Amino acid sequence: MKFFLDTASINEITSLNKTGMVDGITTNPSLVAKTGQSFLDIIADICKIIDGPVSAEVAATDANNMIKEGHKLASISDNVAVKVPLTADGLIACKALSDAGTMVNVTLCFSAAQAILAAKAGATFVSPFIGRLDDLGQDGLGLISEIHTIFSNYPEINTQILVASARSPRHVVESAKIGADIVTIPPSTLRQLFNHPLTDTGLKAFMSDWEISGQTIL
């Protein structure tokens, strides 16, 4: 499974990229707004750090302007994935941009039917939002399983399942067990994956024993 970092913070991206765990970046207007920087500039800066896909979302809601904005965003770097909403206009834009060779991330997916439409429109990624479904008492992980089963029935489907709105390490692990291609998570959740109390306890014991031994490596 690939990890995409859901942030527009250059500091967070630079720091966590050093771990080798960051395969791509997803952004949205809300995340970019938090930086206080120019949208186009921040996307360009991220693309200089990350080799993998960097999702940049269009602001238009009609197909023609989505396509125009998509081409402009794609011109920033070869690894930009243009992010469009899962609407009728968004799917028209997805088809046009995909046919032009641009990676497209179809976002705000909340049903398997929508995921099928995204795949048929040529989406590189489809982003089902599991956390938001869970908030409504629905089964977010169940949706991932349903989409994975459907896509697995059709070898010609190349659209990757990008699990979005993942809120916890459990969401990450369960999505991996289902077979999702990618999960996008905020920096705080990625850091949670490193942590376990038994790791901390074991390391403390090892360091105590090492100190008692009086030895050094350097």
pLDDT tens digits for range 23-78? 999 999 889 999 999 999 999 999 999 999 999 999 999 999 999 999 999 999 99
pLDDT tens digits for range 173-209? 999 999 999 999 999 999 999 999 999 999 999 999 9
- Dihedral pair phi/psi, residue 48, rounded to 5°: -75, -20
Buried b (16+ CB within 10 A) or exposed e, 182-209: bbbbbbebbeeeeeeeeeeeeeeeeeee
Tell the CATH topology of 2-213.
TIM Barrel (3.20.20)
Would residue 83 show up in a list of annotated catalytic residues for this protein? Answer: yes
Provide the residue ranges of all domains of the chain, joining segments of one domain with +: 2-213
**Is the CB of residue 42 less than 8 Å from the CB of residue 10?**
yes
**Is the CB of residue 99 less than 8 Å from the CB of residue 67?**
no
Out of 18, 48, 83, 95, the active site residue is 83
Give the Cα separation of 117 and 106 in Å (integer).
10
Share of the chain above pLDDT 90, in %: 98
pTM for this predicted structure: 0.94
What pLDDT, on the 0 to 100 scale, is given for residue 111? 98
